Amino acid sequence: MNLRDYVPVLVFFAIGLAVGGGLLLASRLVGRRRRSAVKSLPYESGILATGAVRQRFSIDFYLTAMLFIVFDIELAFFYPLAVVLKSVGTAAVVELVLFVAVLGAALAYVWRKGALEWR
Amino acid sequence: MERADREGRGLSDLRDLIDASCPGAVVDEIESHGELTIEIARERLLEVARFLAAPPAAFRLLSDVACADFPDEPGRFRLAYQLYSLDSGARVRLRVWAGADDPEVDSVVPVWPTANWHEREVYDLMGVRFRGHPDLARIAMPDDWEGHPLRKDYPLGGEEVTFTDAV
Amino acid sequence: MPSDEAGVGGGFPIASEARGVLEAARREGRALTETERAIAQIEAFTPEEAEARIRMAEAPPEDPGIRRPMVINLGPQHPSTHGVLRLITELDGEVILDIHPIVGYLHTGIEKQCENKTYWQAVTLVTRMDYLSPYFNTLAYCLAVERLLDLEIPDRAKFLRVIMCEVNRIASHLVWLGTSGLELGAISAFFYTYRERDKALDLGEMISGERMNTRYFQVGGCAQDMPDGFEGELRRFIGEMPSRIDEYEQLLSNNQIWLDRTRGVGILPVDELIGLGVTGPALRAAGVAHDLRKAAPYSGYEHFDFDVPVATDGDVYARYTVRIREMRESVRIIEQALDGIPEGRHIADDRKVVLPPREELAVSMEALIHHFKLVTEGFHVPAGEVYAAVESPRGEMGCYVVSDGGPKPYRCHMRDPSFVNLQALRPMAKGSYLADLIAMIGSMDNVMGGVDR
Amino acid sequence: MALIPPPGTPIERAPRTDQSVDWDLKDPELADFVKRGLLMTTVDKISSWAQSSAIWPAGFGLACCAIEMMHMVTPRIDIARFGAELIRASPRQSDLMIVSGRVSQKMAPVLRHIYDQMLEPKWVISMGACASSGGVFNNYALVQGVDKIVPVDVYVPGCPPRPESLVEGIMLLQKKIGSGGQSSSRELWNAQTGKDAA
C-alpha cells in the first residue's frame, strides 16, 4: 500500500478545486459589483427585516441536527467496507451487522424517548 | 316550492318576535324584491343582534356588513347586516343609520366573530367607528392614508385623462 | 457594512409605513390597535435606525434564559401565500405562537369605481375582483341587478350560465389543486392540473372570446349563444374529465407524504367556523352541508340533481376530498345541463335593458335609438337594494347593489368568500407548525383579488 | 361634487428612493450614446449571450396576470424552451422581475424595495395593462403604471395577456440583452457615466 495509489485521488481533488475556484474567480473578475445599503439589508418577503440576526434559536434545532449527523455519517462508513468486503469475507459482514445493530438500538432508544418528535 | 314559502312564513312574524323581546327597537320594516329589511335604532343593535343569533330565530351566519353613504340623510351612513339562518334558510337584513358627524355603532363581534374584518373594512373605507371592536385598524388602505375613500365626497382620484366616458 | 460607492439616495420607503401607523394613531388620539402594534413593532425605525439595527445584529447575544418569539414576515411577495397576503408570524422554534394577517396589498378600489360606471359598464370591473372565478362575480352582480329590474331571464340563458359557472368551478379548483400540491412538494400535480385548466380556458375563450375576466354574462342573460363547435368540444372535455380526476387522485389521494402533511392539520370546531362566517368547501369539510345551489337555488339549479359533497373531520385532507368530489359533481351538472338545455333566446328581449342584435341595427330605426341610448347613458334601475348570493368555488359570493334610480349603481358591495374565510386562518394556525401553516393557506384557497377588492 | 379631480392637478409620482440606480428614458445624453453604439468586447458578448439564454424570473405574482404567468411554465406553453422556467421566489437569485398584476399604493414601496434588493444585471417586464398603465382601473388605489416606480424594459399588453404574448415579451427581452452589447438599461447608464470601474 504505497503512496502511489493515492495519486488519482489527489488529481481528482485538484480538478475539483480548480473548477470550483475558477468559477468563483471568474465571476469576481468579470462580474460587476454594485452594492447599496438597501441591497445588503436581509430580504424578508419585501418588508424591512426585524430582530437581530443572531437571535437565540430554540434548542430543538440543535438536537435535530445532532441526531441527523449521527445517523447520516453512519452511511459514510459503509463505502470503504464495501470495497474490501470480498477480500475480507464473512468477518466484514458480521462486523457490518454488529455496527448497524448498535446504531439501530440507538435509533430505537431515541425514537421511544420521543426526541424525534419536534415538541 | 317548499323552501320559498317557509322562508316567506318565517320572515313575516320575525318583526313580531323582535318586538316581543326588545320592544321599541324596530323602527321600520321594508319588504322588497323578496327580501325583508328591518331598521333598528342605533343603540339597540347589539341587543337585537344577540336575540337574532339565539335559537328561536337562529341567524347564526352573518354573511355581510355593507355601508352606503347618503350625504343628505340625517343618519348619513346606512349599515346593512345580511343575516342567514342555516336551519331555516331565511335571509334578513338589519339596517342601522350610523349618524352624520361622528358615526359610531356598537360592534357585533361578540355575537358574530366574522364581523371583525367586515367592520374594519367599513371603518377603513367609510369612517364608521365600532365601539367594542377588538382591533379597529385600517385593513385595505395603507395605514397612514388620509380620509375614507368610499365616502361620496372623496374624489375618485387616479390620473386625469383627456377623454373620459364619465357620463 | 461594505462601503457603498454608489451612495444611497433617500430613506427606506418601507420604514415610512410604520411611521404612518404611529402618526395615524396620534392624529386620532387613540392607542395602537393590535394589528397596528404588530406593524409598528416591525418597522418602527427610520433609515438610520435600520442601519443601527443591522449593526446591533452583530452585537453579542443578550443575557441567557430569555426566550423571546422570533417574528418573521410571510410577506406580500412569498411563493406560497396564494397572492399578496402578508402574515406577521410569531414563532417559538417551529411552533407558531400567533399570526397577524395583513391584507390590502391588492386593493384596487373596484367598489368606488363601480359607482362611476353605468350598470352594464360595471360588469367589466366586477369580473376582475376574484380573478379565479370571473363568471361567479358577474353572475352575482347580474342576478342582483336583474332582481332590482324584476327582469325575467329566458331558461336557455339560465342553462348557459350554469354550464359556464360549472366549467369555471372546475378551472378554479384545478388552480387550487395545482398550487397547493406545488407547495407541499407535489410539483407534478401542478403540471397535470394545468393541462386540464388550459382546456377549460379554451372553452371559455370559444364561447366568450376571453380566457379569463370575461363579459359573457350580461344583465339580462348571456352575451351570445353557443358557437356551433362548442357543444362537441364541451362533451369531449367532460368526457375525459373524470378519468383525469382519477389521475389526480392516483397521484395524491393515498400518497403517504400528502397524507402526513394534510391529515389532522388545520382543524377548527364547526361552531367556531360558522361564527367566523366561513362558507364553501371549508365549511362543508367540517360536516355542514350548506351549499347555496341547494339551500337557495338560483339561475335554474333546481332542475339538476347533484349531491353536495361533505366530509366530517374538517382538516386539510377533508377539504381536499370535498373539492375533488365537487369537480366530479360539476361534470354531472354540465352533462345534465347540456342534455336538457331548452331552445330559445340566450338573452332577455327587453329593449330598455338589452342591446338589440347587431343585424337589426341596419334595418330598424327604433333598434338604433335603443342601442344608442343604452350605449351612451345606460339603462335606469328603479331605486332599491338587493343582496344576491351565489355559490362560488370558495363559498358564498354575494353582491349587494343599492340603486337610486339613476344609470349608475349608487353602491355596489361584494361579499367575497376569501375575505371572510381568511379570518379562520389565525385561530387555525395558533399552536401548529410553520410548515403546516403553508398547507392551511393552500387549503383555504383564498384569492387576494377578492379579499382586497 | 367633482369626482374626478379638476384638470391640471399635478400627477404625483411615487417617490424614487435610490436616485443613483435610476434612469429616465428621456435622458438626451444617453440617446446619442446608444446611437454611437458600444463596441462589444468578446467577454461582454459571451456574458450577454449567457444572461439572455437563462433569465430567471422572480415571480412577482400580484393579480390575474399571475395566473396567466403560471400558465407559462405548464406543458402547453413551456417557457423551459427559453431557459426561464425557474421562477425564483427570492430576488437574490433572479434576473428578471415580471410585475404581473395591478400595483396598489400599499404595494408600491414593497415592489420598489424588492427591486432594489435584486442583483444587477436586472430587468423588469411589466405584464398586462394594469402594470403598464393602470389598465381599466383609474382611481385612488392603483399606481397608474409600474414605470413610475421601477425602470421597465419590456411592456406586455393584454388584460391578462395570453401566456404566448408573455413568452414573446421574454423573447423581446432576450433580443434586447443578447444583441448589440446592450445589457440592461442601467448597465448602459453606468457605463456611460463612468461610475462603473470594473
Give pLDDT tens digits for D97-143: 999 999 999 998 889 888 888 887 888 999 999 999 888 998 889 99
Which of the pair, A54 or C315, is modelled with greater confidence?
A: C315
Q: What distance in Å separates the CA atoms of residue C174 and residue C181, rounded to the nearest whole number?
A: 10
Q: What distance in Å separates the CA atoms of residue C132 and residue C165, rounded to the nearest whole number?
A: 12
Please, which residues have CB within 8 angstroms of residue D92's CB and are 6 or more apart in sequence? Answer: A43, D117, D118, D119
Q: What distance in Å separates the CA atoms of residue D170 and residue D155, rounded to the nearest whole number?
A: 10
Lowest mean pLDDT among A62-76, B115-129, C63-77, C372-386: C63-77
Which of C105, C107, C198 shows the shortest C-beta gap to D76? C198
How much is the average pLDDT of C194-214?
Answer: 92
Q: Look up the CATH architecture of domain C117-452.
A: Orthogonal Bundle (1.10)
How much is the average pLDDT of B107-114?
Answer: 94
Q: What distance in Å separates the CA atoms of residue A43 and residue D92, rounded to the nearest whole number?
A: 8
**Residue of chain A minimizing CA distance to C85:** A45
Q: Do B158 and D142 touch (CB under 8 A)?
A: yes
How would you class B52 by CB atoms within 10 Å of its CB: exposed for 0-12, middle for 13-18, buried for 19 or more? buried
Lowest mean pLDDT among A81-90, B140-149, C392-401, D35-44: D35-44
Topology of the domain comprising A3-113: Methane Monooxygenase Hydroxylase; Chain G, domain 1 (1.20.58)
Q: Do B63 and C398 touch (CB under 8 A)?
A: yes
Q: Do C132 and D67 touch (CB under 8 A)?
A: yes
C179 CB neighbours in chain D (<8 A) are: 70
Computed from CA positions of residues D153, D154, D159, D165, in that sequence, does the dihedral angle turn out positive or negative? Answer: negative
CA distance B121 to chain C (A): 10
Which of B158, B164, B166 shows the shortest C-beta gap to D140? B158
Q: Which of C252, C255, C266 is nearest to C437 (CA)?
A: C266
C181 CB neighbours in chain D (<8 A) are: none
D17 CB neighbours in chain C (<8 A) are: 9-13
What rounded mean pLDDT belongs to chain C? 87
Record the cell numbers describing residue B71, joined without a space: 350625504
Q: HSE (CB half, 13 Å, CA atoms) of C443? A: 35
Which of the pair, B66 or C53, is modelled with greater confidence?
A: B66
CA distance A89 to chain C (A): 39
From first to last of its 119 residues, chain A has per-residue pLDDT tens of 577 888 989 999 999 999 999 999 988 877 667 777 777 777 888 887 666 666 677 788 888 888 888 888 888 888 888 888 888 888 888 988 999 999 999 999 999 988 888 76
For chain C, the domains span: 9-61, 117-452
Which of D70, D101, D109 shows the shortest C-beta gap to C14? D109
CA distance D114 to chain C (A): 9
If you count residue pairs, one on C and one on D, with CB atoms under 8 Å apart, how many are there?
128
Please, which residues have CB within 8 angstroms of residue D197's CB and are 6 or more apart in sequence? Answer: none
Record the cell numbers describing residue C369, joined without a space: 335609438
What is the interface pTM, i.e. ipTM, of the complex? 0.83
A41 CB neighbours in chain C (<8 A) are: 12, 50, 54
Helix residue spans in D54-147 (DSSP H): 64-72, 108-117, 128-133
Domains of chain D: 54-193 (3.40.50.12280)
Q: Do B156 and D11 touch (CB under 8 A)?
A: no
CA distance C61 to chain B (A): 33
pLDDT at B6: 39
Which of C21, C148, C423 shows the shortest C-beta gap to B117? C423
Computed from CA positions of residues C352, D136, D174, D71, in that sequence, does the dihedral angle turn out positive or negative? Answer: negative
Q: How many residues does chain C have?
A: 453
Q: Do B140 and C104 touch (CB under 8 A)?
A: yes
Chain C segment 114-173 residues within 8 A of B by beta carbon are 116, 118, 121, 147-148, 150
Name B35's bridge partners.
B32
pLDDT in tens, C285-313: 999 999 999 999 999 999 999 999 999 98
Which of B141, B159, B166 shows the shortest C-beta gap to D11? B159
Angstrom distances, CA of residue C439 to CA of A19, B46, C6, C263, D54:
41, 37, 43, 10, 31
Q: Do D63 and C14 touch (CB under 8 A)?
A: no
Subunit partners of chain A (3 or more CB pairs within 8 A): C, D
A46 CB neighbours in chain D (<8 A) are: 110-111, 113-114
Please, which residues have CB within 8 angstroms of residue A80's CB and are 6 or more apart in sequence? Answer: none
**Residue of chain C minimizing CA distance to B88:** C295
Q: What distance in Å separates the CA atoms of residue A32 and residue D120, rounded to the nearest whole number?
A: 8
Between chain B and chain A, are at least 3 CB pairs below 8 A?
no
pLDDT in tens, A21-38: 999 998 887 766 777 777
Q: Do D116 and A39 touch (CB under 8 A)?
A: yes
CATH superfamily, domain B2-101, is NADH:ubiquinone oxidoreductase Nqo5 subunit (3.30.460.80)
How much is the average pLDDT of C325-332?
Answer: 95
Lowest mean pLDDT among C13-17, C277-281, C406-410: C13-17
- Out of C28-37, C232-241, C372-381, give the one with best mean pLDDT: C232-241
C47 CB neighbours in chain D (<8 A) are: none
pLDDT at D100: 92
Subunit partners of chain D (3 or more CB pairs within 8 A): A, B, C
CA distance C411 to chain D (A): 15
B150 CB neighbours in chain C (<8 A) are: 111-112
pLDDT in tens, B21-72: 888 888 888 888 889 999 999 899 999 999 998 888 889 999 999 999 999 9
Residue D51 pLDDT > 50:
yes
Please, which residues have CB within 8 angstroms of residue D51's CB and are 6 or more apart in sequence? Answer: D95, D121, D177, D183
CB B138 within 8 A of CB B124: yes
Which of C45, C56, C73 shows the shortest C-beta gap to A45? C73
Q: Do D4 and B149 touch (CB under 8 A)?
A: no
Residue C315 pLDDT > 90:
yes
CA distance D104 to chain C (A): 6
| A60 and chain C in contact, CB less than 8 A | yes
Q: Count of H helices and E strands in chain A?
A: 5, 0
Between chain C and chain B, are at least 3 CB pairs below 8 A?
yes
Q: How many residues does chain D have?
A: 198
Residue D38 pLDDT > 70:
no
D1 CB neighbours in chain B (<8 A) are: 152-153
Beta strands in C240-394 (DSSP E): 384-392
Q: Do B158 and D7 touch (CB under 8 A)?
A: no
Q: Do B154 and D140 touch (CB under 8 A)?
A: yes
Record the cell numbers describing residue C178, joined without a space: 395545482
Strands laid side by side in the C86-92 sheet: C70-74, C86-92, C95-102
Angstrom distances, CA of residue D99 to CA of C76, C308, D145:
13, 39, 10
Q: Which of B151, B111, B108 is nearest to B131 (CA)?
A: B108
Q: What distance in Å separates the CA atoms of residue B80 and residue B39, rounded to the nearest whole number?
A: 9
Q: In whole angstroms, what separates CA D58 from the centre of its chain?
A: 11
Dmax over Cα atoms in chain B, in whole Å? 59
Q: HSE (CB half, 13 Å, CA atoms) of C361? A: 10
Residue located via cell numbers 411577495: C77
Q: HSE (CB half, 13 Å, CA atoms) of C214? A: 26
CB C151 within 8 A of CB C353: yes
Q: Exposed e or buried b for every residue in C18-47, given b needs 16+ CB within 10 A?
A: bbbbbebbeeeeeebbebbbbbbbbbbbeb
Q: Which amino acid is at C17?
A: E
Q: What distance in Å separates the CA atoms of residue D73 and residue C359, rounded to the nearest whole number?
A: 42
Is C146 strand, coil or helix?
Answer: helix
pLDDT at D8: 63
CA distance C42 to chain A (A): 6
Which of C107, C191, C448 shows the shortest C-beta gap to D74? C191
CA distance C450 to chain D (A): 10
Q: Which of C18, C96, C60, C40 is nearest to C439 (CA)?
A: C96
CB B78 within 8 A of CB B67: yes
- pLDDT-derived band at C142 (thresholds 50, 70, 90) equals very high
Which of A38, A48, A53 shows the shortest C-beta gap to C57? A53
How much is the average pLDDT of C223-243?
Answer: 93
End-to-end CA distance of chain A: 51
Residue B90 pLDDT > 70:
yes
User: Directed axis angle between helix C155-183 and helix C316-340, to 10°?
Assistant: 150
Q: What distance in Å separates the CA atoms of residue C434 and residue A10, rounded to the nearest whole number?
A: 45
pLDDT at D24: 46
CA distance C452 to chain A (A): 19
pTM, 2 dp: 0.84
B156 CB neighbours in chain D (<8 A) are: 3-4, 138-140
Q: What are phi and psi of C354, to 5 degrees?
A: -105, 140
